[in-house]
Structure 1
Amino acid sequence: MTSGSGSKPQGRARPSVRRILWTVARAVGSATVLVTLYYLLPLDHSSTASTVTMLVVGLAGFVALVAAQVRSIIRSAHPGLRAVEALATSIPYFLLLFAASYVALAALSPESFDEPLSHSDALYFTVTVFSTVGFGDITAKTETARLVVTVQMLADLVILGLAVKVVVSAVRRGQKRQKRTAEASRKEAGDEGR
């Protein structure tokens, strides 16, 4: 069903294949840019102050990113599709932020972990902590490293619990907003026909 102007479909129209492909391309592009930056940045030449600043500012940036994505989901014509894109951007950002912190920490204090960490090692370690698998092949040895890993584990719980719940709630709110808009359009069209 279309509105009187014939421009936008009303109600819960499915996204077009083109829209889905564009969303997938943007999500893959965002993740690719983040991973490329992670591997190109000279994280193993950081100071303690820059490492702490990177983690704190990065976490604040993550909160701001999720807040902006929630607003975008609510306003989107396709909230479910927008939520998938939001998760495909925010989760890699979160994981790469902690991996970057581990690379910097291992370079600053080689005894922080039981082995030297390359960018790939740190990413692997971050994902095992995030997924709660924790193989034990890489372990934090110093108090500082253990505190950073603890922060990640607590943040993981927030991500897995609260952030996913917020995104799902935003999808539902967006769908309700679409339904109200469609009903108002139908009512308006009905009033004009009289």
Structure 2
Amino acid sequence: MEHLPQSYADSNLAVIFRQLHEVSLGRAGFERAPVASVVDDVEHNILEALAQSKDKATSDMVYLALLHSTQIYVWGALTTAHRGLPLNGLFVARLVDALNTLGLVDTWRARAPLESLLWALFVGWTAASQLMGDEEGAMASATWLLNMAFKTVEALSISEEGGLREVLHSFPWSGHFCLEPCKSLWNMFLHREGLEAA
């Protein structure tokens, strides 16, 4: 994964991203959902890595945020579960907690490529926006993730929707989970001044 820190090359996170890429690519060529055992294996690896990260005295914010993002992606893109489940609200809240730091874009840039932050924010925002405000804090989380995504797009100097899609597509991508939200994110980015004034 070119947009993950080199220090993660032999980590559980690298294995998880590879598994997510494989199952997402496999899903793209077939009408039916991916084999449940493959998704279960990925989810098990994510939960195991999250449990191990809690044992560390000082967690790596980038590592933890990407783990939470992979969990959101599994539940949003790879399972048949309803995307508005309260469980997704919990996953989004954990991601926001992991990312909620002053100067997020600069802090992330010092530790990892910004493309990975953009993917994490995109996945979190996609899930939060599908909660439709039913879950407590869903709207606040969706708004915060969206604003951070705008700042990251600006920092990456992305100037067209194709550039945004290219960055996001270099990570696990599922058309039914990612394509329309990618278009929506770009449209909102183009009209962000109007959104901020509202």
TM-score, shorter chain, exceeding 0.5: no
Task: Pick the structure with more helix per residue.
Answer: 1
Select the structure with the greater relative contact order (CA < 8 A; seq sep ≥ 6). Answer: 1
- Normalised by the length of structure 2, the TM-score is 0.31
